[in-house]
Amino acid sequence: MHPVEKRRIKKNGILLATSGLVIVLLAALILREAGFTDFRLSRWLAALAVTLAMQGALWLIPHRGWDARLGWDPHYIYLPMVLAALQLNVFVALIPQARFLVLLVWFVATLFMAGLAGFREVVMLSTIMAGGYLAVLNRLIAHRVPLSLAFEHTFAVAFLLSSIYAGIVFEGLRRDRLEMQGLRRRLGEMAHTDPLTGLSNRRQFESILQTELAALRRYGGQCAMAMIDVDFFKQYNDAHGHVAGDVLLKTLADVMRAQVRASDLLTRYGGEEFGLIMSRTPKVEALRTVERLRAVVEAYGFKDEHTQPGGRLTISAGLAAAPEDGSDYDTIVRRSDDALYAAKRNGRNRVESA
C-alpha cells in the first residue's frame, strides 16, 4: 500500500476514534441530566478539551508524516491505543456509573487493530487499560465511592481473559493478512518475472518501454533498446537436451545481468531472445554497452559450448534508439528487430544498430 494511502487510513481511524470518545462524553452528559450520575460540568468540559487535544495531536502526526519516524510503532497503533486507555480511564473517574460502557468502548476501539496487531499487542494494551481501570477504581473506593473492590477486581480479571481470547483471534487475523500480502507479492512477481531466469518478462518489458517512450515524447531525452538472441541455440538444444538449454539460458541471464546498470532493464523477451532497455542513454553509449555485453558473453566459458559453431556460445543483438529511430513502441521494437536480423545475416556474434 502506498504511504499516502496508509496515512489517509490512519487519519480516518483517528477521526472515527475521536467521534467515539466524544459520543461517550455526550452519553455521560445525558446520564447526568437524567439523574443517573453526578459530576461537575467543569470536569466534563476539561475531559472534552483533553480528548480533543489528544486526538488532534494523534491526527496531526500522520498528517505531517511524522509517523514514519516511529520505528517502534510501524503500524501506528501503540501510541493511539495507550492514549485511548488513558482517556477512557479518565472517563471512568468522571462517570464511574458508566465504567462498564467504557470497557465496551475499549473492545470496539481494538477493532481498529484487526489485521495489524496480534496476540502480544492486544493483551499488552488491554493489560494497560485494565491496570489503569483498577487504579482509578481503587482511588474512587478510597474516596468512599460505594463500589465493591472484590467485584471490580473479578470483573477486571474477566476483562483480561476476554482480551486473551480476542488476542488469539487477532493473531489469526494478523497471520492471514501477512499471508495475503505475501501471496499478492508473489503473484505480482509471477506476473512480471520470468520463472526460469528471474529476469523481468515480456509484459514488463512492454510496460516499461512504453512508459519510457511516453516520458520521452513529453519531456524529451533519450533512451535505447536492444533485442538480443542466442546464436544457434536450437543446435545446442538438439545436442544436449532442453534441460541443458534451460541451464544455459539461466547462466546467460546471470552473466548479462552482471554487466548492465541498475537503471537498465534486462528481460527475457521469449525463448532464447532477450530485451534490454537503457534509460537516458544516447545511441552511441548504448552501442558500446551492448558491444561490451556481446564480448563478455563470447569470452565466458559456458558448459558444452565447444559443440557450437566456432567452439563458442555467442549472441547477436540489434539496437535502436529514441528519438532518432522512432518514438513509438511499435516503431522502435521493429527497428531493433530488423537490426537483429541484419546481425544474423551478417555472420552472427555481432551488434547492428538501426
What is the grid cell recorded at 344? 544474423
Residue 191 · residue 182 · CB < 8 Å: no
- pLDDT, tens digit (0-9, with 9 covering 90-100), for 167-188: 898 888 888 888 887 777 777 6
Q: Which is more confident, 281 or 36? A: 281
Backbone angles phi, psi at 197, to 5 degrees: -95, -20
Closest CA to 77 of 28, 117, 134: 117
The overall pTM is greater than 0.75: no
Distance CA 220, CA 277 (A): 17
- pLDDT, tens digit (0-9, with 9 covering 90-100), for 23-69: 777 877 887 787 777 777 888 888 888 888 888 888 888 888 888 78
- Report the interhelical angle of 202-219 vs 149-192 (nearest 10°): 90
Q: What angle do CA 136, 140, 146 make, to 5 degrees?
A: 135
Distance CA 140, CA 132 (A): 12
Q: Where does the chain have alpha helices with state H?
A: 3-34, 41-63, 78-94, 99-110, 119-142, 149-192, 202-219, 233-240, 242-257, 283-299, 329-345
Mean predicted confidence (pLDDT) in 271-279: 93
Q: Confidence band (pLDDT; 50, 70, 90) for 210?
A: very high
Average pLDDT, the chain: 86
- pLDDT, tens digit (0-9, with 9 covering 90-100), for 289-323: 999 999 999 999 998 888 888 889 999 999 999 99
Distance CA 80, CA 61 (A): 11
Residue 170 · residue 119 · CB < 8 Å: yes
What is the grid cell recorded at 247? 541451464
- Architecture label for domain 202-353: 2-Layer Sandwich (3.30)
pLDDT of residue 8: 64
Distance CA 242, CA 245 (A): 5
- pLDDT, tens digit (0-9, with 9 covering 90-100), for 138-156: 888 888 888 888 888 898 8
Would you list the DSSP string of 253-272? HHHHHTTS-TTSEEEEEETT
Q: Where are the domains of the chain?
A: 3-190, 202-353
Beta-strand pair 351-353/315-322: parallel
Beta-strand pair 315-322/223-230: antiparallel
Q: Which amino acid is at 239?
A: A
- Report the interhelical angle of 41-63 vs 3-34 (nearest 10°): 170
Q: Confidence band (pLDDT; 50, 70, 90) for 90?
A: confident
Torsion 284-288-294-298 (CA) sign: positive
Q: Which amino acid is at 156?
A: A
Q: Which amino acid is at 46?
A: A
pLDDT of residue 31: 76
Is 189's pLDDT higher than 90?
no
DSSP classification of residue 196? T
Q: What is the largest CA-CA distance in the chain?
A: 102
